[in-house]
Amino acid sequence: MAMFAVGLSAQSKLATETASRHYFNPNYNFCIDYPGNWGIWEPFDRNAVALIQSDVQGYPRTEITVGGNVNQPSDKDETRGETLAENWDSGLKALAENGKVTNVAVIEQKRISLAGYPALATKYEYSENGQRWHVQEIMFLTRSSEVFELTLTCHPEEVEKLTPVFEEVVRSFKIQCDPKLPERP
């Protein structure tokens, strides 16, 4: 069983260890492990899961999301799906069209590998309704045209505390999981 080091609060430098829980998504056949003291929320279509801190103080939007969806046709060539770069551009365009989001700044973007697939890892920040948000996102495409995204969204003050938790969730991510493992706590 994996153990997660989790900060006690945004103000505390102390950490505690907590047993992890396992989540399995039957729609996209992926699984992750997450800190046992975090809650989960699934949208009605069950294409994703949001991991939510139990002890959030002041930043209710802090979450780690993991999900899948079907790749969309490329605007450049409708006979093929979007590339990773096109997926990123589409997401950025949707964020800008939201109308509430301003000052999007890409901090870092690099190509990595995740679950045996080429992936695009991006760190960026944006403002929404006067609040600044930090995002770490990893996106990759499978050969069967599924797009997976793993995302940490938090206040910039929480980045140092939450990045290790996000990295553990990313390390635990698997596709083609054993559905016999418990789906949720």
**Residue 132 belongs to some domain of the structure:** yes
**Residue 18 belongs to some domain of the structure:** no
Tell me if 124 sits within 8 A of 107, measured CB to CB.
Answer: yes
What are 19-49's pLDDT values in tens digits?
A: 889 999 988 889 999 999 898 988 888 889 9
**Residue 27 belongs to some domain of the structure:** yes
**Residue 17 belongs to some domain of the structure:** no
Q: What is the CATH number of the domain that holds 73?
A: 3.40.1000.10
What are 148-176's pLDDT values in tens digits?
A: 999 999 999 999 999 999 999 999 999 88
What are 8-26's pLDDT values in tens digits?
A: 333 322 234 568 899 999 8
**Residue 13 belongs to some domain of the structure:** no
**Residue 184 belongs to some domain of the structure:** no
**Residue 50 belongs to some domain of the structure:** yes
Domain count, the chain: 1
Domain around 149 = 3-8+23-175
What are 48-83's pLDDT values in tens digits?
A: 999 988 665 555 668 899 998 888 888 888 888 888
Q: In what order do the strands lie in the sheet with 63-70?
A: 38-41, 48-53, 63-70, 146-154, 131-141, 117-128, 101-114
SS (H, E, C) 56-107: CCCCCCCEEEEEEEECCECCCCCCCECCHHHHHHHHHHHHHHCCCEEEEEEE
**Residue 183 belongs to some domain of the structure:** no
